[in-house]
């Protein structure tokens, strides 16, 4: 009797009821797969050539450094413009610059293909003008393509993180420096930059992490000539069938990302110390001098060209036929068409799949729905565990962050190796895809719910109790109502992540049950205008889904900030 009381008390104390289930999920679907990779590596020795891993490692670091530098170069002025100036269309542009970040990497690749690829607008236009037979611009499969796509993809992080910190920075600090006799430049160097150094560093590290683990962009835009660790894992595992080598590469990748994540965690600590959140919009104003107006205009044009034009090219390309489709219609037709969308519902013999491609859309949507539920559930439990039992946070937080850092390709490879032939294999266990997506999405949900939960004044629930609400009722009527928006935001994040996830899904989606990104990748690999057009059409559908959810996200987070 006494023993049981002691036991239940210590169970309650540890908060295991809160973190137990999410941690079990993590153990089965992350730690076992990682162990399986290790096992394969050491059990099937022979094919490992250690020096073969150095080239991809070197190239990965090199391209990530260069991409991060370029992103900062363009992102910092953009962050400044967003933080300090008001101009027409600012909110719209802000949303548009966020769009590439939440768009699947596959869409990024397809968008640049539609703009600058051999069948892209620019090349078609120049061929028409010059009468040349071959596309004059060679953009695909170049190093430039990788760099441009990375800047396109990650500039939103700099704008968001640095821009937010910058706009929260009390403008009076800068003003007092000016009054004390500092020139605008001195005021920036001696006051603004020191206060923004941490946010800049942590944003840069995050960009570096994303560039380091970039997979879809490099596979589809860089081609065979450029092999990063991620691409090398993919080719070793799925093309060369050299699992031990893929395992070694995964371990190197994991070690690197853990280091980057630790640096990131260190750099983002205490970010908010020197900042003075004041009334929103206090530090912004209309550009006044010609130089300011010019800077803002230039920034708007650059962002518009970089962020919006490729997406516009992609969407328009899915609606326009510009060439004859080899062997299908026989003659050249051009003009507006809905054929590429219509074809998605047709199950053609020559099709890449034996099911209609619309099936991929249904798959993606249902996987994303399940991912949303799973990760919101697990993320909320973890958030509660960390807030109610602060001692757990120290060890729980890094554990949960690991799958996010492990890179999706490593996760996919691990799941493939660990469960092949078992009842959890991809052939017999359809939940594998949403489970993998959930592991990636949980950190995002946690990061949205946990701050909201710990910021909630304790007195709210206590006053509900004093007013006569039982603990369950106080939880439901007060806490859950107040958390509903962060939960929805977290859920939408999870949904968007799942819809676009490519790296892990290529390993664990069944060939006859692809998701949209996997289907797009396969279409692009096929010849012919129809396949190209269908890739464009599917990518457009993805953009629409993601745009809707980011639109919701923006208005929700505005409503959250507004209510405080």
CB of 447 to other proteins, least distance (A): 22
Q: What Rg, from alpha-carbon coordinates, does the chain have? A: 25
Cα dihedral: 199, 201, 203, 206 (round 10): -140
User: Which listed range, 236-244, 261-269, 373-381, 460-468, lies at the site for other proteins (CB under 8 A)?
Assistant: 460-468
Cα dihedral: 403, 407, 409, 415 (round 10): -10
- Residues numbered 465 to 524 that lie near other proteins (CB under 8 A) are 465-471, 473-474, 477-478, 481-482
CB of 460 to other proteins, least distance (A): 5
Which of 8, 280, 462, 555 is the binder for other proteins (CB under 8 A)? Answer: 462
CB of 482 to other proteins, least distance (A): 6
Q: How many angstroms separate the Cα of 344 from the Cα of each of 237, 323, 335, 338, 530? A: 30, 19, 19, 10, 10
Binding mask 406-445 for other proteins (x = CB under 8 A): ----------------------------------------
CB of 477 to other proteins, least distance (A): 8
Is there a contact between 543 and 107 (Cβ–Cβ < 8 Å)? yes
Pick 17 or 455: Cβ nearer other proteins: 455
- Residues numbered 76 to 105 that lie near other proteins (CB under 8 A) are none
Which of 46, 270, 335, 457 is the binder for other proteins (CB under 8 A)? Answer: 457
Pick 463 or 555: Cβ nearer other proteins: 463
Question: How far is 120 from 268, CA to CA, in rounded Å?
Answer: 40
User: Measured in whole angstroms, how far is the alpha carbon of residue 159 from the centre of its chain?
Assistant: 15
CB of 284 to other proteins, least distance (A): 23
Minimal CA–CA distance to 87: which of 298, 296, 305?
296
- Chain position carrying tokens 């505005």: 558
Pick 127 or 560: Cβ nearer other proteins: 560
Pick 181 or 468: Cβ nearer other proteins: 468
CB of 557 to other proteins, least distance (A): 16
Pick 183 or 462: Cβ nearer other proteins: 462
CB of 467 to other proteins, least distance (A): 4
CB of 108 to other proteins, least distance (A): 38
Question: How far is 162 from 193, CA to CA, in rounded Å?
Answer: 11
CB of 561 to other proteins, least distance (A): 12
438 CB-contact burial (10 Å; exposed 0-12 / middle 13-18 / buried 19+):
buried
- Chain position carrying tokens 């799942």: 498
CB of 455 to other proteins, least distance (A): 11
Both tokens assigned to 308: 């919006």
Both tokens assigned to 334: 């051009």
Pick 149 or 461: Cβ nearer other proteins: 461
Which of 333, 347, 454, 463 is the binder for other proteins (CB under 8 A)? Answer: 463
Is there a contact between 107 and 315 (Cβ–Cβ < 8 Å)? no
380 CB-contact burial (10 Å; exposed 0-12 / middle 13-18 / buried 19+):
buried
Q: What angle do CA 38, 263, 249 make, to 5 degrees?
A: 25
CB of 1 to other proteins, least distance (A): 20
Pick 342 or 473: Cβ nearer other proteins: 473
Pick 471 or 511: Cβ nearer other proteins: 471
Minimal CA–CA distance to 76: which of 206, 210, 166, 209?
166
Pick 25 or 487: Cβ nearer other proteins: 487
The answer to whether 460 contacts other proteins (rule: CB under 8 A) is: yes
Q: How many angstroms separate the Cα of 380 from the Cα of each of 19, 113, 449? A: 10, 39, 7
Pick 349 or 459: Cβ nearer other proteins: 459
Pick 334 or 484: Cβ nearer other proteins: 484
Size of the site for other proteins (CB under 8 A): 21
Which of 103, 156, 464, 524 is the binder for other proteins (CB under 8 A)? Answer: 464
Write the secondary structure of 311-360 as one string of H (helix), E (strand) and C (coil): HHHHHHHCCEECCCCCCCCCCCCCEECCHHHHHHHCCCCCCCCCCCCHHH
Question: How far is 564 from 82, CA to CA, in rounded Å?
Answer: 22
Q: Enumerate binding residues for other proteins (CB under 8 A).
A: 457, 459-460, 462-471, 473-474, 477-478, 481-482, 563-564
């Amino acid at each position: 009797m006494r023993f049981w009381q002691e036991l239940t008390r210590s169970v309650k104390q540890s908060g295991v009821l809160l973190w137990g289930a999410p941690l079990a999920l993590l153990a089965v679907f992350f730690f076992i797969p990682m162990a399986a990779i290790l096992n394969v590596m050491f059990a099937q020795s022979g094919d490992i050539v250690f020096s073969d891993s150095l080239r991809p490692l070197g190239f990965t670091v090199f391209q990530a450094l260069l991409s991060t530098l370029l992103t900062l170069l363009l992102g910092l002025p953009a962050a400044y413009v967003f933080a300090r100036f008001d101009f027409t269309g600012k909110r719209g542009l802000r949303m548009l610059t966020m769009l590439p970040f939440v768009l699947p990497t596959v869409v990024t690749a397809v968008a640049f293909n539609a703009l600058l690829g051999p069948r892209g607008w620019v090349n078609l236009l120049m061929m028409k003008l010059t009468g040349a037979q071959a596309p004059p611009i060679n953009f695909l499969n170049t190093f430039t393509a990788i760099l441009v796509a990375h800047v396109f993809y990650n500039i939103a992080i700099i704008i968001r993180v640095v821009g937010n910190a910058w706009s929260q920075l009390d403008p009076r600090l800068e003003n007092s420096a000016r009054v004390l006799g500092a020139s605008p430049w001195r005021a920036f160097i001696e006051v603004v930059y020191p206060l923004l150094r941490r946010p800049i560093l942590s944003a840069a590290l995050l960009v570096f992490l994303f560039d380091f683990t970039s997979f879809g962009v490099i596979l589809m835009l860089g081609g065979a000539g450029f092999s990063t660790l991620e691409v090398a894992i993919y080719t070793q595992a799925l093309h060369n069938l050299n699992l031990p080598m893929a395992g070694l590469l995964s371990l190197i990748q994991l070690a690197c990302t853990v280091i980057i994540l630790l640096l990131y965690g260190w750099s983002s600590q205490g970010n908010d110390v020197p900042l003075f959140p004041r009334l929103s919009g206090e530090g912004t104003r209309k550009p006044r001098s010609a130089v300011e107006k010019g800077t803002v205009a230039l920034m708007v044009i650059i962002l518009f060209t970089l962020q919006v034009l490729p997406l516009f090219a992609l969407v328009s390309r899915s609606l326009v036929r510009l060439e004859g489709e080899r062997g299908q219609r026989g003659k050249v037709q051009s003009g507006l068409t809905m054929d590429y969308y219509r074809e998605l519902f047709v199950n053609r013999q020559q099709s890449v799949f034996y099911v209609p491609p619309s099936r991929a859309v249904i798959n993606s949507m249902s996987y994303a729905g399940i991912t949303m539920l799973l990760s919101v559930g697990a993320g909320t439990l973890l958030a509660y565990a960390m807030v109610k039992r602060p001692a757990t946070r120290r060890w729980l937080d890094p554990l949960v962050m690991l799958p996010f850092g492990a890179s999706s390709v490593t996760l996919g490879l691990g799941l493939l190796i660990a469960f092949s032939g078992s009842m959890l294999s991809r052939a017999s266990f359809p939940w594998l895809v949403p489970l993998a997506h959930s592991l990636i999405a949980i950190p995002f949900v946690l990061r949205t719910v946990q701050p909201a939960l710990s910021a909630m004044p304790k007195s709210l629930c206590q006053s509900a109790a004093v007013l006569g609400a039982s603990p369950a009722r106080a939880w439901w009527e007060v806490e859950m109502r107040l958390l509903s928006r962060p939960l929805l935001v977290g859920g939408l994040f999870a949904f968007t992540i799942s819809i676009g996830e490519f790296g892990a899904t290529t390993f664990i989606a069944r060939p006859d049950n692809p998701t949209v990104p996997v289907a797009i990748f396969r279409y692009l690999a096929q010849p012919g205008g129809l396949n190209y057009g269908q890739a464009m059409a599917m990518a457009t559908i993805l953009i629409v889904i993601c745009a809707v959810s980011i639109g919701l996200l923006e208005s929700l987070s505005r409503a959250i900030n507004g209510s405080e």
